[in-house]
């Protein structure tokens, strides 16, 4: 048998079927880029590598040559057939485990490294699915849309900084490795691409992730506003006040339990499904608007709620958060704010 690694054939024209945009089918054809991705992944001969969306196997062949085993998950049966054909005539046929199916619907197998040119339209759920995977893997080296990469690595104050940046950087260390041009693909996508390296943080911060999620959704819902303005909004105050009372009752009944360990699963599930628990399309500063009764008269303000509001505002002022804006806040600042609020009986979930 030929012991030399297989040469990558350019796939343009070599595939007997057309690419489906809906499945994000853009095959990486530039051998230099493929080689660079493999090298930057730090792949070792003992690694069990997960590849998501192997397509016709341009990257798979390189990964097979350098690892112990590759487990590839591919949705399109035409790709699966093509890849099987390609691998079966190579020396690596017993190193590949090919799973046909939707990566988002699979329980991921054991792996310690993930290297993939993923379908861009499901980048966010893939990243969160990987970050929820246990045991922790060493790192994931992913080829993704440039703009998505910019959001993953964005720091406070950057135009790309958003909830995604904060959540992904809470769970992992993200690094931009290199840019990849449209013309390195067949067919070329409309957008530019980048390779990033994502290294899961282990251990994770010991927080309640549902509370964390609640805080970030509130803060980033109006990301240019100050926290003072955000927390004064009526629907936020109502929500927090109700939570406050609920938790007080639970405390009275000795029913107060916080389960941090399980909160991450629900948090990740929400991120993967894009659940917008708290999105309220309401851009009016309605805190000072008088509430009306049915007869049109102004509603009496609930003194308990008013007291809660001043307590919340006092905390934000005293702790120096009142004039801060989410777009400029670091993960540590969010963590500290969550801690302060929770310690004062204010719950975000």
Which residue ranges make up the site for ligand SAH (CB under 6 A)? 23-28, 52-55, 58-59, 73-76, 79, 102-104, 117, 119, 122
Considering beta carbons, is residue 27 or 341 the nearer one to ligand SAH? Answer: 27
Asked if residue 158 lies in contact with residue 329, where contact means CB atoms within 8 angstroms, the answer is no
For the bound state, the minimum distance from the C-beta of residue 21 to ligand SAH, rounded and expressed in Å, comes to 10
The two structure tokens encoding residue 142 = 């992913």
Place of tokens 């017993």: 94
For the bound state, the minimum distance from the C-beta of residue 130 to ligand SAH, rounded and expressed in Å, comes to 13
Considering beta carbons, is residue 28 or 174 the nearer one to ligand SAH? Answer: 28
For the bound state, the minimum distance from the C-beta of residue 74 to ligand SAH, rounded and expressed in Å, comes to 5
Compute the half-sphere exposure of residue 186: CA atoms within 13 Å on the CB side of its CA: 15
Considering beta carbons, is residue 119 or 200 the nearer one to ligand SAH? Answer: 119
For the bound state, the minimum distance from the C-beta of residue 98 to ligand SAH, rounded and expressed in Å, comes to 11
Considering beta carbons, is residue 76 or 213 the nearer one to ligand SAH? Answer: 76
For the bound state, the minimum distance from the C-beta of residue 77 to ligand SAH, rounded and expressed in Å, comes to 9
Residue 175 pairs in a beta bridge with 197
Asked if residue 53 lies in contact with residue 26, where contact means CB atoms within 8 angstroms, the answer is no
In whole angstroms, give the CA distance from residue 164 to residue 222.
15
For the bound state, the minimum distance from the C-beta of residue 151 to ligand SAH, rounded and expressed in Å, comes to 20
Reduce the DSSP state of residue 69 to 3 states and report it.
strand
Consecutive H or E run containing 49? strand 48-52
Nearest alpha-carbon partner for 112 in 206, 12, 41: 41
Consecutive H or E run containing 90? none
Report cis status (omega within 30 of 0) of the bond before 348.
no
User: Parallel, antiparallel, or unpaired: how do β-strands 96-100 and 69-74 relate?
Assistant: parallel
For the bound state, the minimum distance from the C-beta of residue 137 to ligand SAH, rounded and expressed in Å, comes to 18
Residue nearest to ligand SAH according to CB distances in the complex = 53
Considering beta carbons, is residue 79 or 131 the nearer one to ligand SAH? Answer: 79
Considering beta carbons, is residue 60 or 233 the nearer one to ligand SAH? Answer: 60
Asked if residue 67 lies in contact with residue 43, where contact means CB atoms within 8 angstroms, the answer is yes
Considering beta carbons, is residue 52 or 210 the nearer one to ligand SAH? Answer: 52
In whole angstroms, give the CA distance from residue 31 to residue 10.
8
């Amino acid at each position: 048998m030929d012991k030399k690694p297989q040469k990558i054939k350019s796939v343009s024209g070599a595939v007997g079927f057309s690419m489906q945009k809906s499945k994000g089918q853009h095959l990486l054809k530039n051998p230099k880029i493929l080689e660079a991705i493999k090298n930057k992944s730090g792949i070792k001969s003992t690694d069990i590598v997960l590849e998501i969306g192997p397509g016709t196997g341009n990257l798979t062949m390189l990964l097979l040559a350098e690892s112990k085993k590759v487990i590839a998950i591919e949705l399109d049966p035409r790709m699966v057939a093509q890849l099987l054909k390609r691998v079966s005539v190579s020396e690596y046929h017993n190193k590949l485990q090919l799973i046909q199916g939707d990566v988002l619907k699979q329980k991921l197998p054991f792996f310690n490294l993930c290297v993939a040119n993923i379908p861009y339209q499901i980048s966010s759920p893939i990243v969160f699915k990987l970050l929820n995977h246990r045991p922790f893997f060493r790192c994931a080296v992913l080829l993704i849309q440039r703009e998505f990469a910019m959001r993953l690595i964005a720091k406070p104050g950057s135009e790309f900084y958003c909830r995604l940046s904060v959540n992904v950087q809470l769970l992992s260390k993200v690094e931009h490795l290199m840019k990849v041009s449209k013309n390195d693909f067949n067919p070329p996508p409309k957008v530019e691409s980048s390779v990033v390296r994502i290294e899961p943080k282990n251990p994770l911060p010991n927080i309640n992730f549902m509370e964390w999620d609640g805080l970030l959704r509130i803060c980033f819902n109006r990301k240019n506003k100050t926290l003072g303005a955000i927390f004064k909004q009526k629907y936020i105050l109502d929500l927090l006040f109700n939570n406050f009372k609920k938790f007080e009752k639970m405390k009275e009944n000795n029913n107060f339990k916080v389960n941090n360990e399980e909160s991450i699963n629900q948090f990740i599930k929400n991120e993967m499904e894009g659940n917008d628990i708290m999105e309220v399309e309401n851009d009016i500063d309605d805190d000072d608007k008088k509430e009306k009764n049915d007869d049109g008269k102004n509603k009496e303000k609930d003194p308990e709620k008013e007291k809660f509001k001043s307590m919340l505002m006092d905390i934000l002022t005293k702790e120096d958060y009142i004039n801060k804006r989410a777009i400029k806040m670091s993960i540590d600042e969010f963590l500290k704010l969550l801690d302060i609020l929770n310690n004062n009986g204010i719950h975000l979930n």
